[in-house]
């Protein structure tokens, strides 16, 4: 946990505070009006209008906090780390909680007490944590896609003229020779391997009598030939999509409808490729 918190924060700080505030304001309105949590369903007045009021306060707090704190955060620290951004997000949630708490006591003529505020802050923290988790997930997938595209373009260009050979250990002359950039993936199948590669821009599969470990050994000089699962090896150059988390990823490859799994133990190495 300590290592995670002290890591460099990987995402660029958003500068679209007004746009983001509208999105989060609408989310708050939708949660309150459609789901009606925290006893909101018992309110007998205009629920849509009151939910909209909390959404507007959320928007205003988000914009003010964004322009006064979040915007200047990268300038205040030499290296922006995960815990810096986490603390800033907690500050944002506190700011929104204060604003909406003041709206609550004004609309419903409730007494201002510490107990009531802490309860309201807890509610805000629950909603804020869910929204933050969703935002981080979306941002991470964008970051992953951007890093992957940059990596693949560079590596594919460097290896444009490289040809590889995967040998069949049983039938002489049945070796497969192809440009490395055409290789999509290799799958272990009992005593054989299935090699999927591009031929005339269409995925083609050929079986060779050899083991996955032997094929990996033949291609060990190429870092982009990556074992992502005990039964799969992929060519990182041809990954077009990667989705998942620390428990595993699913990869999609150029012109292929096959989804390739990335086992949990191989996730750190995949992240090293795209970091």
Say what the pLDDT of residue 14 is.
Answer: 65
Question: Between 236 and 78, where is the model more confident?
Answer: 236
Candidate ranges 5-14, 36-45, 155-164, 178-187; pick with highest mean pLDDT: 178-187
Say what the pLDDT of residue 39 is.
Answer: 81
pLDDT at 186 over 90: yes
- 8 Å CB contact between 56 and 96: no
pLDDT at 4 over 80: no
| % of the chain beyond a pLDDT of 90 | 33
On average, the pLDDT of the chain sits at: 83
Q: Please name the helix (run of DSSP H) or strand (run of DSSP E) that holds residue 196, with its range, or none.
A: strand 192-199
Q: Per residue in 38-73, pLDDT tens?
A: 888 888 889 999 999 999 999 999 989 888 887 777
Instruction: Please return the burial class of 47, using the count of CB atoms within 10 Å of its CB with bins 0-12, 13-18 and 19+.
Output: middle
Confidence band of 27 (pLDDT split at 50, 70, 90): very high
- 8 Å CB contact between 239 and 152: yes
Gap between the Cα atoms of 146 and 166, Å rounded? 31
Gap between the Cα atoms of 219 and 135, Å rounded? 39
Q: What is the mean pLDDT of residues 239-256?
A: 79
| % of the chain beyond a pLDDT of 70 | 86
Say what the pLDDT of residue 122 is.
Answer: 92
Can you say how many angstroms the Cα of residue 124 is from the centroid of all Cα atoms in its chain?
24
244: left (phi over 0), alpha (psi -120 to 50) or beta: left
Gap between the Cα atoms of 218 and 88, Å rounded? 49
Q: Per residue in 102-139, pLDDT tens?
A: 999 998 888 889 998 999 899 999 998 888 888 877 77
Look at residue 105 and give its three-state secondary structure. helix
Q: Please name the helix (run of DSSP H) or strand (run of DSSP E) that holds residue 259, with its range, or none.
A: strand 259-262
- Residue 185 CA: distances (Å) to CA of 10, 110, 170, 253, 258: 29, 64, 21, 8, 10
- 8 Å CB contact between 166 and 218: yes
Q: What is the mean pLDDT of residues 156-163?
A: 72
Find out if CATH 2.40.50.1020 is the number for domain 160-274: yes
Question: Between 257 and 217, where is the model more confident?
Answer: 217
Residue 244 pairs in a beta bridge with 249
- 8 Å CB contact between 270 and 249: yes
- 8 Å CB contact between 80 and 70: no
Residue 164 pairs in a beta bridge with 178
Span(s) in the chain for CATH 2.40.50.1020: 160-274
Gap between the Cα atoms of 169 and 210, Å rounded? 5
């Amino acid at each position: 946990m300590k290592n995670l918190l002290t890591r460099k924060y990987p995402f660029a700080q958003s500068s679209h505070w007004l746009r983001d505030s509208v999105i989060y304001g609408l989310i708050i309105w939708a949660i309150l009006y459609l789901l009606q949590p925290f006893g909101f369903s018992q309110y007998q007045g205009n629920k849509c209008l009151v939910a909209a009021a909390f959404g507007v306060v959320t928007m205003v707090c988000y914009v003010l906090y964004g322009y006064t704190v979040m915007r200047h955060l990268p300038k205040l620290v030499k290296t922006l780390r995960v815990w810096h951004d986490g603390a800033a997000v907690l500050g944002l949630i506190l700011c929104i909680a204060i604003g909406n708490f003041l709206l609550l006591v004004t609309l419903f003529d409730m007494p201002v007490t510490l107990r009531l505020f802490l309860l309201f802050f807890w509610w805000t923290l629950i909603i804020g944590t869910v929204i933050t988790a969703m935002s981080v997930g979306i941002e991470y997938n964008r970051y992953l896609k951007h890093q992957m595209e940059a990596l693949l373009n560079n590596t594919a260009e460097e290896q444009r003229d490289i040809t590889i050979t995967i040998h069949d250990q049983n039938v002489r002359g049945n070796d497969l020779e192809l440009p490395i950039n055409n290789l999509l993936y290799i799958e272990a199948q009992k005593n054989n391997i299935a090699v999927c590669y591009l031929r005339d821009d269409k995925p083609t599969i050929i079986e060779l009598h050899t083991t996955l470990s032997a094929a990996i050994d033949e291609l060990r000089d190429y870092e982009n030939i990556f074992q992502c699962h005990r039964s799969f090896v992929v060519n990182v150059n041809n990954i077009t999509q990667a989705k998942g988390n620390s428990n595993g990823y699913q990869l999609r490859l150029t012109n292929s409808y096959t989804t390739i799994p990335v086992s949990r133990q191989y996730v750190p190495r995949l992240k090293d490729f795209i970091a």
